[in-house]
A and B are shown apart, each in its own frame.
Chain A
Amino acid sequence: MEESRSANNGGVFRFMKSVVFFFEAHQPMRIRPYRMADIGTNHDYFWESKNREIGQRVSEKCYIPATQVLIDNGIKASLSISGILLDQLVAINSGSLDVFKEYFRSGLGEPVAETYYHSLSSIWNKREFFYQVNKHRETISRFFGRTPQTFRNTELIYNDDVSKLAKELDFKNIITEGTDKIIAYNTPNVKYSSVSGLNLLLRNYKLSDDVSFRFSNHTWNEFPLYADKFSDWVARSPGDVVNLFMDYETFGEHQWKETGIFEFLKALPKELEKRGISIKTIDEFCNENPKGNVLSLPDYVSWADVGRNLNAWLGNDMQREAFDLLKSLENNTNPETWRRLQVSDLIYYMSVSRFSDQEVHDYFNPYGSPYYAFMNYMSVLEDFRRTYSSK
């Protein structure tokens, strides 16, 4: 493999190292506090005011200014905007859609496909999964005028089966997490092939988390993080590519603008360039590099929690009971609502994982506790069952 690589790609180009940015832009439609007494009488499940408030805030603090920084500084990135977020941005009319459009039109941004509803459908229902991915791909093409070539599953959930599904849907590239177990034998810093023959990139979690989690952590011994220091780390990280995959909300929402995150982002291209490193999209990097070694990943991985598996969603009995009930309602007369209820966040809020993960869960949890999230969701599903399902 090494040999064919050099043969195909001799010269200076081959040795130039890249940074590949992938950002996930997503906001769930949260369900509102829904009481048992609402069952049978109230079919309005979604927390309109809260969703609007968060959508507006994130647009103003992150989507608009961060995308403007990318445009102004010529920063390339692959960007996945979930369908459920697109729906909300259209409703809010906050101006972020226009900035996204401009970014994709400029050629700097690569639109990435996922399940429209940011769901767990890949792990249980192929037909449903295909429907949701196709709907997302078509919607993205219609909105932004470009058809995604790269697929990324919800929260980078991946195994060999997911790669086969993506192959059936004619995607060229796919990405996932470089978990400790994977990178013990395979550097995340080169391109691989999935068992289904797609280009496969692995997230460099150490360097990604330095930005997304640790950037403003005063107790971190590397605080404060500047673009020059970070670029040194990238330069020292051996391999062809450093894959920096993270929530788009890192910029301005998780890390507020007061932390200097935007200045960091602005300064990064020049600092990387000084060290001979260029920023590329997933598709661009994959096109320029020869086919990689086949990497088989039979077990599920994801980028969530310390476990980097499915436990953030299906780790406890409440989550499994809720997920089973959701699945059982497939035959219904209101598929759009059923699909919106599939958004993985609603089950993620029920996670009771321990230690540092709990803080992450609490940060995102609009209900204050996994138990209230469970009760809320089950009541909504119960109403849905009675109202729209033959079951």
Chain B
Amino acid sequence: MFTGFGDWAGMKIAVIGWELPPAFSGGLGVHTLNLFSEIADYIDIDLYVPSFKGLKGIYKFNVIPVPIEHGIAGNPYEITSFPDFYESVLSYNEQVVKAFDPKDVKIIHCHDWITYLSGLQLSKKYHIPLVVTVHSTEFDRSAYFNPQRRIIDIEKMGVIGADRVIAVSNYTKSIVVREYACDPDKIRVIYNGVNKDYYISGEKDYELKNRVLYFGRLTSQKGGKFFMETASKVLKVNKDIEFTVAGSGEQSSEMKWMAKEFGITDRIKFEGFVSFRESAKYYRDSDIFVLPAVSEPFGMTVLESLISGTPVIISNTTGVGEALRNVLKADYWDTDLFSEYILYVVRYKSLRGTLGSLGQIEASRFTWRRAAVQTMGVYLGL
């Protein structure tokens, strides 16, 4: 157990982030908010983030909004989106370096390639140890299809230049070692947590709802196309099942086109973007959540579904799966097996109930407190 920072009294951690709810609530934002709210109980934190329009809220840490000058929509103090993402990242990192206050900073902690450049520069300039967390790599995000060289280069510089690397799974650690030749001894694996208060509302009864859920961005990384293929195979055997696709993204029109091609449009509901607030209801109202990700470093949605009591089927290339017993796994391309699993779960209540209730217990062990304690352990080791 963590016993405190001892003689680090009066010192602080400088975190360079990107998303922060409620402004943006992707996985990185959820991680930043939850993890550093826990760590803030022990040590002061300066969190640098782009000065989003909706960036307001009461935080347990000190938020330093950084105006970005290039590649954004809105004005630098009220950013609404990033029409030129790469340009805005470069601009952000320049501005972080300018805005940085090194006084009493003991550690700089960066999150993904979008923050590495400023972290590397500041660490060198002020001789402050650098920790970087790898939430995903360019190889995951591109699903190994045309990864961007310039991003790969930044990721490699980041993990090589950092004093410690935190990976969100052993799966991700192995990619960082393999693709970036990073020294495995300086990598620590720390799993994300899940905030159960958002998702648990009474006991799930596991009566059949005939509903299968896909929840996440519609990108090649998340395997949305494999979900569509799976759906068409399931529907050949059981026409009563309804598939819900919650999320938006670049593959949206392709997935809709596939639904037409397979002749299953009447059994698939495209819900578009679903907010974090609405997500609990989707998990709750489904018999099973399916994530056939091609390469998913962690998979927060897996824990969210499990903590809601809804069983999951995931690909073998979903990081959190390595730490879970009570899930079903298949290769992301094996839509025969994915569809078989769905049919079993729909057919047997005992299977749904056992997977769901034990999965819920298992997921509840993934707390942000645990992640925070392990992260502080990394800081103290430097």
A-facing residues in B341-376 (Cβ within 8 Å): 341, 343-344, 348-351, 353-355, 358
Within 8 Å by CB of A318, from B325, B336, B340, B351, lies B351
Residues of B within 8 A of A37 (CB): 336, 340
Query: Does B190 reach chain A (CB closer than 8 Å)?
Result: no
The 5 closest A-B pairs by CB, nearest first: A317-B350, A321-B350, A318-B350, A36-B340, A375-B344
Residues of B within 8 A of A77 (CB): none
Residues of A within 8 A of B328 (CB): 371-372
**How far, in angstroms, from A372 to B354 measured CA to CA in the complex?**
13
**How far, in angstroms, from A198 to B354 measured CA to CA in the complex?**
40
Within 8 Å by CB of B340, from A35, A317, A371, lies A35
Interface, chain B (partner A; CB < 8 A): 325-326, 328, 336, 340-341, 343-344, 348-351, 353-355, 358
| Chain A 317-355: CB-based contact to B (< 8 A → 1; otherwise 0) | 110110000000000000000000000000000001000
Residues of B within 8 A of A375 (CB): 340-341, 344, 351
State the majority secondary structure of interface residues on B: helix
Residues of A within 8 A of B354 (CB): 316-318, 352, 370-371
The residue in chain A whose Cβ has the minimal distance to the Cβ of B328 is A371
Residues of B within 8 A of A36 (CB): 340, 343-344
Query: Does A112 reach chain B (CB closer than 8 Å)?
Result: no
Min distance, Cβ B173 to any Cβ of chain A, angstroms: 23
**How far, in angstroms, from A374 to B348 measured CA to CA in the complex?**
10
Min distance, Cβ B241 to any Cβ of chain A, angstroms: 15
Query: Does A369 reach chain B (CB closer than 8 Å)?
Result: yes
Residues of B within 8 A of A378 (CB): 344, 348
18 more CB-based (< 8 A) A-B contacts, given A317-B349, A318-B351 = A35-B340, A36-B343, A37-B336, A316-B350, A317-B353, A317-B354, A318-B354, A320-B350, A321-B349, A352-B326, A352-B358, A369-B325, A370-B354, A371-B328, A371-B354, A374-B348, A374-B350, A375-B341
Residues of B within 8 A of A352 (CB): 326, 354, 358
**How far, in angstroms, from A378 to B328 measured CA to CA in the complex?**
16
**How far, in angstroms, from A22 to B82 measured CA to CA in the complex?**
74
State the majority secondary structure of interface residues on A: helix
| Chain A 148-163: CB-based contact to B (< 8 A → 1; otherwise 0) | 0000000000000000
Min distance, Cβ B309 to any Cβ of chain A, angstroms: 14
Residues of B within 8 A of A371 (CB): 326, 328, 351, 354-355
| Chain A 350-388: CB-based contact to B (< 8 A → 1; otherwise 0) | 001000001000000000011110110010000000000
The residue in chain B whose Cβ has the minimal distance to the Cβ of A378 is B348
The residue in chain A whose Cβ has the minimal distance to the Cβ of B341 is A375
Among B341, B354, B355, max chain A CB count under 10 A is at B354
Residues of A within 8 A of B355 (CB): 371
Min distance, Cβ A17 to any Cβ of chain B, angstroms: 45
Min distance, Cβ A263 to any Cβ of chain B, angstroms: 37
**29 A-B residue contacts at CB 8 Å?**
A35-B340, A36-B343, A36-B344, A37-B336, A37-B340, A316-B350, A316-B354, A317-B350, A317-B353, A317-B354, A318-B348, A318-B350, A318-B351, A318-B354, A320-B350, A321-B348, A352-B326, A352-B354, A352-B358, A369-B325, A371-B326, A371-B328, A371-B351, A372-B328, A375-B340, A375-B341, A375-B344, A378-B344, A378-B348
Interface size class of A (residues with CB under 8 A): 10 to 19
**How far, in angstroms, from A352 to B357 measured CA to CA in the complex?**
11
**How far, in angstroms, from A141 to B325 measured CA to CA in the complex?**
45
The residue in chain B whose Cβ has the minimal distance to the Cβ of A320 is B350
The residue in chain A whose Cβ has the minimal distance to the Cβ of B344 is A375
**How far, in angstroms, from A318 to B350 measured CA to CA in the complex?**
5
Residues of A within 8 A of B358 (CB): 352
Min distance, Cβ B289 to any Cβ of chain A, angstroms: 15
**How far, in angstroms, from A36 to B354 measured CA to CA in the complex?**
20
**How far, in angstroms, from A214 to B347 measured CA to CA in the complex?**
42
Min distance, Cβ A47 to any Cβ of chain B, angstroms: 18
Residues of A within 8 A of B351 (CB): 318, 371, 374-375
Among A317, A371, A372, A374, max chain B CB count under 10 A is at A371
Min distance, Cβ A40 to any Cβ of chain B, angstroms: 12
**How far, in angstroms, from A321 to B349 measured CA to CA in the complex?**
9
| Chain A 138-182: CB-based contact to B (< 8 A → 1; otherwise 0) | 000000000000000000000000000000000000000000000
Residues of B within 8 A of A318 (CB): 348, 350-351, 354
**How far, in angstroms, from A371 to B328 measured CA to CA in the complex?**
8
**How far, in angstroms, from A35 to B357 measured CA to CA in the complex?**
25
Min distance, Cβ A306 to any Cβ of chain B, angstroms: 17
Residues of B within 8 A of A317 (CB): 349-350, 353-354
**How far, in angstroms, from A369 to B327 measured CA to CA in the complex?**
9
The residue in chain A whose Cβ has the minimal distance to the Cβ of B325 is A369
Min distance, Cβ B16 to any Cβ of chain A, angstroms: 41
Residues of B within 8 A of A374 (CB): 348, 350-351
Residues of A within 8 A of B325 (CB): 358, 369
**How far, in angstroms, from A318 to B354 measured CA to CA in the complex?**
7
**How far, in angstroms, from A62 to B341 measured CA to CA in the complex?**
38
The residue in chain A whose Cβ has the minimal distance to the Cβ of B339 is A36
Min distance, Cβ B342 to any Cβ of chain A, angstroms: 11
Min distance, Cβ A381 to any Cβ of chain B, angstroms: 12
Min distance, Cβ A175 to any Cβ of chain B, angstroms: 33
Min distance, Cβ A389 to any Cβ of chain B, angstroms: 18
Among B325, B326, B349, B350, max chain A CB count under 10 A is at B350
**How far, in angstroms, from A358 to B348 measured CA to CA in the complex?**
23
Min distance, Cβ A63 to any Cβ of chain B, angstroms: 33
